[in-house]
């Protein structure tokens, strides 16, 4: 009953100026009756594949058939039947919801009675009826995606290509969006949902996993994680020093991958090996193993040959900072208004020395605004932000000398080479001569930058850009590190490696403040602040937050479950009062 | 010490990103070379190859001689002989002639009996500048003709004009344009460079990175200003060398004074560039900002039309325009060896403009970045 609508064979596409192809001999098919997940980190080739299927580009070699046609040669034949929602939705931010719909209806030639009917149906479907006059630019991330979806659905397509619809959408809207798409699948539309979040791919009916232009796997999520069955365990109640324990566990030959999940360690073992005795790595006496269901991400890492080694060379080269138990970062009633929009609304938190504090929330929730006020890049409308007791906006440069900052999207000088970037950042932090050379040598070695030293930074892969950005921010040995979305878009292995470095730094007493929209990544933090629509709705350890929403129906909630419940609870409370 | 080392890091970074990239390197050098080659030839105001239509209704000796003087001189290379008023009008309309003269049929007769006779001259107003200059040549020829006539009749004209062009003996237009180019090309380089560089860093997000570092806004500004000034000096030196060695424009003044002027000039430009930069958040805004300043500033600098020809209020209004003062300095030092006190008087406005623009840029930076 499910029908193949798109098939592609040995499709290869290389863009000029790129060393390796964006897609390398990828084959597969998209069917009706289920959501096909197209999963992989940034730069894996997801968008390229979607654009080839939509007929927006021609493959260098290989064949694509979309709805029975060659999509590039017969683009006119498929145009009416393919709905494509690009990553940065094709919405005009200065037009209202209705005007956007009108425009797309005009473009797709939906007229007369059919037009009125589709508007009615789509506005109903997307729940946007009350907002037809609002400018698209003023909608929340979730509403924008819904409007994008409505526009893509005009003209009743048979195939719907969604390029990363989950980006910038809070977990609640994401679940809504997901339900809407499932509804479309039931009506016989073939849907492709591309995503960089592996937990999202896990929900799809079938998944095509791409990495660096090649196909890693295709099949149902169950099939993908099958080989991991019986190999994933939680080490519960490991006792003090979970980061040290993780490092030691990862050094053992039978362990292929490991992460911190709240108070627990999550480890993946080699096939046909058994978990070791917890006390062998010095875990507490109450520590015990409990098998867990393998996740998509575990399988992804396994396919790539396991996670990175557990010991960060950074630890040995970082000077230990004595833990004095002092509060080093503090926000009091922090508020920022842009016109009549409140980006951050009376936020309070403090971070002690040697802690990892995470601000968790969807894009647009106000994380970055809060973060920038903490670093002194934005002036708070109200309230105070202090770091080691100083307001960074007015503080002398000596105070800023103690900070490391890694900006969103790894802001480096793209046209400078890797070594020029390193020298520059060393220079502005006052490292010169022999000390500068030593530090640059250290960083080159730790982050494996040696082969790229004279490569222009802009042509590095995302993973290496991230490594270089971290290297630049650590050059001067800061004791407080600000990280803004440090892992967005990079592949899970590089993310693991990144957290290994961070854990190594924290062991030496460095204080970390990090923002992230990866729910699972928050598990690495000692404490998390949940940010939603500018407000800090909860603040606590990952386990506390998860426990606070556990009930009989869901005894072991995920971070995302916790987020959704906490937001819902809060909104219910707001409507009652 | 540390202060200078940090600034050095900023300057090196800036120069590396300017000259490290082949396309931006070409963008800094190619326009200078092209303009130095093209402008002195293209943007000339001399009238060579002037054309003239003659409608001579008189067949007398006097008119024939006059016509001969017109046709034999070097000023008019293209003579169109017409035979009616309509043809004369047509010659101007079709641009076959820049100006036309009509000699009445009693011209020789009147002159012979000692009366004066009018000559009608028509000028093509569409080419007003060229026609004016050609008219000047015509008057000159006429004057010599009258003088010669008077002398042959034994009279002397009561007085005679003897013209000498100082500082540019042969009225060579290249002597005028090249010193101007030193000012104009330097403007584009340093202004656009500073205006765009901060906006680019804002777009890339690297500006935040600088702001959380121990650098303060003033250091970042110096780090942006120095490379732009280096580029300005570099470009100006290319044109200076081309003017002296390639076009043989005599350099009469002091090189030291010229470079002192250039220092303050580029400082004031960098101030304007940084001010534009501090006000704009994208490269596009910065680019538009730089151009909306540059176009009127160049037009009102005395390069295209002399400042003295402007209405008084406009002359006053051009005072904050740094290009105006530097154009005067370059021409002064270059062509007539302007004395130090004259140059210092011209430097004063540049210093005031620099202080004002750099000061406001610093304030804007602090406000916008903190």
* Cβ separation B12–A424 shorter than 8 A: yes
Please report the sign of the dihedral spanned by the C-alpha atoms of residue B86, residue B90, residue B92, residue B96: negative
**B21/A415 touch (CB, cutoff 8 Å), yes or no:** yes
Q: Are B109 and B216 found together in one domain?
A: no
Mutate which of B1, B13, B15 to disrupt the A interface (most A C-beta within 10 Å)? B13
List all residues 6 or more positions away from A393 whose beta carbon is below 8 Å from its beta carbon: A376, A379, B370
Percentage of chain A lying above the pLDDT 70 cut: 98
Both B191 and B59 in a single domain?
A: no
Could you list the beta-strand ranges (E) of A471-522: 480-484, 511-516
pLDDT score of A12: 92
Per the model's pLDDT, the better-predicted residue between B35 and B267 turns out to be B267
pLDDT band at B370 (very low <50, low <70, confident <90, very high): very low
pLDDT band at B47 (very low <50, low <70, confident <90, very high): low
Q: Considering only CA atoms, which of B253, B263, B240 is closest in space to residue B180?
A: B240
Whether the CB-CB separation of A217 and A303 falls below 8 Å is answered with: yes
Calculate how close chain B gets to A536, using CA atoms only, in Å.
Answer: 24
Among A417, A40, A391, which Cα is nearest to A200's? A40
Q: Does A430 touch chain B if contact means CB atoms closer than 8 Å? A: yes
Nearest C-alpha neighbor of A152 from the set A104, A201, A87:
A104
* Residues B188 and B241 both lie in one domain: yes
- Count the Cβ atoms, other than its own, within 10 Å of residue B305: 11
Who wins on pLDDT, B46 or B105?
A: B105
Distance, CA of A470 to CA of A474 (rounded, Å): 6
Categorize the per-residue pLDDT at A49 as very low, low, confident or very high, splitting at 50, 70 and 90.
very high
pTM over 0.90: no
- B218 with B140, same domain: the answer is no
Is B17 at the interface with chain A, CB within 8 A? yes
Confidence of residue B157 (pLDDT cuts 50, 70, 90): low
Portion 207-246 of B in contact with A at CB < 8 A: 208-216
Q: Scanning every residue of chain A, which has its alpha carbon at the shortest distance from the alpha carbon of B202? A: A411
In this structure, is the dihedral angle defined by the CA atoms of residues A16, A21, A25 and A27, taken in order, positive or negative? Answer: negative
Per-residue pLDDT at A468: 92
| Residue B17 belongs to some domain of the structure | no
Tell which wins on pLDDT, B160 or A59.
A59
Spell out the residues 6+ positions from residue A459 whose beta carbon is closer than 8 angstroms to its own. none
Closest residue in chain B to residue A426, using alpha carbons only? B9
Q: Is A403 on the interface with B (CB under 8 A)?
A: yes
Note the helical H segments in chain B. Answer: 2-19, 22-42, 61-72, 85-93, 107-112, 128-152, 173-204, 206-212, 217-241, 255-279, 283-299, 312-317, 322-336, 340-369
What's the domain range around B123?
50-152
| Partners of residue A405 in chain B, C-beta under 8 Å | 208-209, 212-213
**Is the minimum CB–CB distance between A56 and chain B shorter than 8 Å?**
no
Each residue's pLDDT tens digit, A455-504: 888 888 788 888 999 999 998 889 899 998 888 777 788 888 888 899 88
Q: Check residue A479 and report its DSSP letter.
A: S
Whether residue B296 lies inside any domain: the answer is yes
**In total, how many domains does chain B have?**
2
CA-to-CA separations, A213 to A30, A61, A192, A305, B255, in angstroms, rounded = 18, 14, 18, 17, 61
Among the partner-chain residues A393, A407, A414, the one whose CB lies closest to the CB of B208 is: A407
| Inter-chain residue contact B5 with A397, CB threshold 8 Å | no
Residues B133 and B249 in one domain: no
Q: Are B269 and B191 in contact (CB under 8 A)?
A: yes
Contact (Cβ atoms closer than 8 angstroms) between residue B101 and residue B120: yes
Q: Does position A1 have pLDDT exceeding 60, yes or no?
A: no
Give residues with Cβ within 8 angstroms of A461, minimum separation 6: A43
> Does any domain span residue B160?
no
User: Which of the listed residues B94, B124, B152 is the one where a domain comes to its end?
Assistant: B152
CA–CA distance, A445 with A461 (Å, rounded to integer): 18
Instruction: Work out the pLDDT band at B167, boundaries 50, 70, 90.
Output: low
A154 in contact with B at a CB cutoff of 8 Å? no
Are both B339 and B282 inside the same structural domain?
yes
- Nearest-Cα residue of chain A relative to residue B21: A415
Q: Which residues of B touch A425 (CB under 8 A)?
A: 213
DSSP codes, A346-399: EEEEEEETT-EEEEE--TTSSHHHHHHHHTTSS--SEEEEEETTB-TTTS-HHH
Task: Kindly report the nearest CA distance between residue A365 and chain B, in angstroms.
Answer: 20
Model confidence at B165, pLDDT cuts 50, 70, 90, reads: low
Asked if residue B242 and residue B125 are part of one domain, the reply reads: no
Residues B252 and B200 grouped into a single domain: yes
* B193/B338 same-domain check: yes
Question: Are the beta carbons of A400 and B210 separated by less than 8 Å?
Answer: no
Task: Judge: B20–A482 Cβ closer than 8 Å, yes or no.
Answer: no
B204 touches chain A (CB under 8 A): yes
Distance (Å, rounded) from C-alpha A400 to C-alpha A300? Answer: 39
pLDDT tens-digit profile of A164-198?
A: 887 767 777 788 888 888 888 888 889 999 988 88
Chain A residues in contact with B212 by the CB 8 A cut-off are 375-377, 392, 400, 403, 405, 482
Q: At what angle do helices A462-474 and A492-507 cross, to 10 degrees?
A: 10
Which 3 state secondary structure label does DSSP give A6? strand
Separation in Å, CA B347 to CA B251, B322, B328, B351 = 20, 10, 10, 6
B6 domain residue, yes or no: no
Q: Which among A424, A429, A432 has CB closest to B214? A: A429
Quick one: CA torsion of B245, B251, B255, B260, rounded to 10 degrees? -110
CA distance A348 to B198: 33
The three-class DSSP label of residue B172 is coil
Nearest to B319 by CA among B334, B339, B300: B300
Closest CA to B361 of B297, B264, B270, B230: B270
* Beta strands at A206-211 and A232-236: parallel, antiparallel or unpaired: unpaired
3-state secondary structure of A327: strand
Q: How far is B99 from chain A (nearest CA, A)?
A: 57
Report chain A's mean pLDDT, rounded to a whole number. 85
* 3-state SS class at A518: coil
Positive or negative, the CA dihedral A363, A369, A374, A378 is positive
In a domain, B4, yes or no: no
B81 shares its domain with B176? no
Return the CATH number at B70.
3.40.1710.10
**A66-75, A135-144, A315-324, B156-165: which has the highest mean pLDDT?**
A66-75
DSSP 8-state secondary structure symbol assigned to residue A88? S
Q: Which of A228-237, A329-338, B42-51, B345-354 comes out lowest in average pLDDT?
A: B42-51
Residue B43 has a pLDDT of 59
CB count in 10 Å sphere of residue A116: 12
Three-state secondary structure readout of A233-296 = EEEECCCCCHHHHHHHHHHCCCEEEEEEECCEEEEEECCCCCCCCHHHHCCCCCCEEEECCCCH
In chain B, residues with a C-beta closer than 8 Å to the C-beta of A408 are: 205
Strands A214-219 and A264-269: unpaired
Q: What pLDDT does residue B48 have?
A: 67
Whether residue A50 contacts residue A197, with contact meaning beta carbons closer than 8 Å, is answered with no
**Judgement on whether residues B141 and B177 belong to the same structural domain of the protein:** no
Beta strands at B76-81 and B50-56: parallel, antiparallel or unpaired: parallel
Neighbouring C-beta atoms of residue A335, cutoff 10 Å: 18
- Please judge whether A377 and B369 are an interchain contact, meaning their C-beta atoms are less than 8 angstroms apart: yes
Record: contact A432-B13, CB cut-off 8 A:
no
Are B124 and B223 found together in one domain? no
**B116 vs B107: CA distance, rounded Å:** 8
DSSP per-residue codes, A98-127: HHHHHHHHHHTT--HHHHHHHHHHHHHHHT
| Over residues B52-68, mean pLDDT | 86
Which of the four pLDDT bands, split at 50, 70 and 90, describes residue B169? low
Q: How far is CA A520 from CA A199, A257, A463, A508, B98, in A?
A: 9, 15, 19, 24, 82
ipTM over 0.90: no
Give a yes or no: residue B307 inside a domain.
yes
Interface of A with B in 361-380 (CB under 8 A): 372, 375-377, 379
Nearest CA in chain A to B24: A415
CB B7 within 8 A of CB B222: yes
Q: What is the pLDDT of residues B123-146, one digit of tens each?
A: 888 887 778 888 888 888 888 888
Measure B340 CA to nearest chain A CA, in Å: 40
B139 in reach of chain A (CB within 8 A): no
Nearest to A84 by CA among A191, A209, A3, A4: A191
Let me know if residue B22 belongs to a domain. no
How far off is chain B from A399, nearest CA to CA, in Å? 8
Helix (H, G, I), strand (E, B) or coil at A4: strand
Cβ distance of A377 and B205 shorter than 8 Å? no
Which of chain B's residues have a Cβ under 8 Å away from the Cβ of A413? 13, 17, 204, 206
Contacts of B312 (CB under 8 A, 6+ apart): none
Please tell me the least confidently modeled range out of A303-307, A361-365, A566-570, B323-327.
A361-365
Using a CB-CB cut-off of 8 Å, the residues of chain A touching B6 are 427-428, 430
The CA-to-CA distance between both ends of chain A, in Å, stands at: 51
What are A401-434's pLDDT values in tens digits? Answer: 888 999 877 788 888 899 999 999 999 988 888 9
Residue B296 CB contacts under 8 Å (≥ 6 apart), including other chains = none
Q: Which of B254, B91, B223, B353 is nearest to A427 (CA)?
A: B223
In a domain, B8, yes or no: no
3-class secondary structure per residue, A11-73: EEECCCCCCCCCEEEEEEEEECCCEEEEECCCCCCHHHHHHHHCCCCCCCEEEEEECCECCCC
In the 3-class helix/strand/coil scheme, how is B302-365 assigned residue by residue? CCCCCHHHCCHHHHHHCCCCHHHHHHHHHHHHHHHCCCHHHHHHHHHHHHHHHHHHHHHHHHHH
pLDDT exceeds cutoff 70 at A259? yes
């Amino acid at each position: 009953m499910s029908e193949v609508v798109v098939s592609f064979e040995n499709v290869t596409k290389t863009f000029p100026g790129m060393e390796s192809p964006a897609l390398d001999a990828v084959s597969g098919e998209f069917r009706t009756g289920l959501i096909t997940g197209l999963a992989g980190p940034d730069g894996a080739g997801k968008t390229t594949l979607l654009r080839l299927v939509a007929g927006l580009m021609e493959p260098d070699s290989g064949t694509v058939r979309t709805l029975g046609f060659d999509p590039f040669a017969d683009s006119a034949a498929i145009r009416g039947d393919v709905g494509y929602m690009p990553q940065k939705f094709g919405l005009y931010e200065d037009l209202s919801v209705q005007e956007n719909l009108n425009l797309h209806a005009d473009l797709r030639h939906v007229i007369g009675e059919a037009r009125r009917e589709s508007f009615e149906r789509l506005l109903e479907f997307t729940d946007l009826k009350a907002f037809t006059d609002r400018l698209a630019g003023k909608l929340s991330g979730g509403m924008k995606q819904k409007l994008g979806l409505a526009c893509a659905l005009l003209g009743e397509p048979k195939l719907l290509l969604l390029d990363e619809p989950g980006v910038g959408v809070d977990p609640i809207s994401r679940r809504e969006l997901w339900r809407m798409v499932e509804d479309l699948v039931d009506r016989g539309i073939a849907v492709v949902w591309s995503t960089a979040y592996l937990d999202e791919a896990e929900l799809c009916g079938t998944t095509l996993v791409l990495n660096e232009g090649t196909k890693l796997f295709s099949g149902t999520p169950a099939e993908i994680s099958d080989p991991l069955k019986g190999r994933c365990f939680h080490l519960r109640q490991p006792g003090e020093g979970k980061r040290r324990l993780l490092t030691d566990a990862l050094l053992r030959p039978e362990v292929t991958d490991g992460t911190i999940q709240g108070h627990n360690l999550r480890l993946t073992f080699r096939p046909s090996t058994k978990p070791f005795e917890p006390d062998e790595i010095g875990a507490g006496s109450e520590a015990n193993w409990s098998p867990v269901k393998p996740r998509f991400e575990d399988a992804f890492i396994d396919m790539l040959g396991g996670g990175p080694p557990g010991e960060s060379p950074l630890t040995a080269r970082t000077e230990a900072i004595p833990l004095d138990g002092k509060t080093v970062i503090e926000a009091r009633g922090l508020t920022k208004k842009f016109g009549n929009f409140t980006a951050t609304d009376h936020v309070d938190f403090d971070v002690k020395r040697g802690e990892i504090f995470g601000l968790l929330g969807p894009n647009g929730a106000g994380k970055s605004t809060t973060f920038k006020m903490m670093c002194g890049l934005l002036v708070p409308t109200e309230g105070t932000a202090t770091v080691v007791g100083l307001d960074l906006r007015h503080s002398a440069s000596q105070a800023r000398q103690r900070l490391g900052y890694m900006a969103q999207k790894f802001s480096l000088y793209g046209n400078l080479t890797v070594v020029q970037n390193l020298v520059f950042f060393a220079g502005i932090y006052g490292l010169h001569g022999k000390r500068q050379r030593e530090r640059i040598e250290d960083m080159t070695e730790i982050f494996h930058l040696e082969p790229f030293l004279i490569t222009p930074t802009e042509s590095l892969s995302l993973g290496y850009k991230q490594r270089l950005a971290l290297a630049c921010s650590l050059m001067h040995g800061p004791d407080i590190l600000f990280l803004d979305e440090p892992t967005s878009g990079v592949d899970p292995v590089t993310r693991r490696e990144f957290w290994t470095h961070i854990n190594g730094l924290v062991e030496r007493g460095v204080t970390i403040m990090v923002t992230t929209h990866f729910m699972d990544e928050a598990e690495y933090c000692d404490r998390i602040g949940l940010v939603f629509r500018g407000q800090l709705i909860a603040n606590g350890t990952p386990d506390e937050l998860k426990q606070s929403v556990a009930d009989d129906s869901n005894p072991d909630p995920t971070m995302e479950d916790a987020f959704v419940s906490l937001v819902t609870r809060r909104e219910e409370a707001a409507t009652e009062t | 010490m540390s202060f200078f080392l940090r600034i050095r890091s900023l300057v090196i970074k800036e120069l590396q990103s300017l000259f490290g990239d082949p396309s931006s390197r070409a963008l800094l050098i190619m326009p200078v070379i092209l303009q130095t080659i093209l402008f002195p030839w293209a943007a000339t105001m001399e009238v060579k190859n002037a054309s003239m239509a003659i409608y001579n209704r008189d067949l007398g000796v006097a008119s024939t001689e006059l016509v001969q003087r017109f046709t034999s001189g070097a000023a008019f290379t293209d003579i169109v002989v017409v035979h009616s008023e309509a043809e004369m009008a047509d010659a101007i309309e079709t641009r076959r002639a820049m100006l036309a003269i009509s000699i009445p049929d009693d011209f020789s007769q009147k002159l012979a009996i000692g009366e004066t006779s009018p000559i009608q001259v028509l000028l093509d107003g569409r080419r007003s500048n060229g026609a004016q200059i050609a008219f000047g040549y015509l008057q000159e020829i006429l004057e010599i003709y009258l003088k010669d006539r008077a002398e042959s009749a034994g009279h002397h004209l009561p007085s005679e004009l003897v013209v000498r062009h100082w500082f540019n003996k042969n009225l060579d237009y290249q002597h005028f344009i090249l010193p101007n180019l030193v000012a104009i090309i330097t403007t584009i380089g340093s202004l656009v460079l500073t205006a765009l560089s901060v906006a680019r860093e804002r777009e890339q997000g690297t500006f935040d990175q600088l702001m959380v570092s121990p650098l303060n806004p003033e250091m970042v500004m110096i780090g942006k200003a120095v490379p732009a000034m280096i580029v300005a000096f570099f470009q100006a030196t290319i044109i200076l060398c081309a003017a002296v060695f390639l076009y043989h424009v005599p350099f009469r003044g002091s090189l030291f004074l010229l470079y002192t002027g250039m220092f303050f000039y580029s400082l004031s430009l960098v101030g304007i560039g940084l001010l534009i930069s501090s006000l704009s958040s994208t490269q596009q805004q910065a680019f538009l900002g730089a151009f909306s300043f540059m176009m009127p500033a160049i037009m009102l600098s005395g390069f295209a039309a002399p400042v003295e020809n402007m209405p008084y209020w406009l002359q006053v209004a051009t005072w904050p325009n740094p290009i105006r003062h530097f154009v005067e300095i370059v021409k002064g030092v270059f062509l007539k060896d302007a004395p130090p006190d004259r140059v210092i008087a011209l430097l004063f406005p540049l210093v005031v403009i620099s202080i004002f623009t750099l000061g406001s840029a610093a304030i804007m930076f602090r406000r916008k970045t903190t």
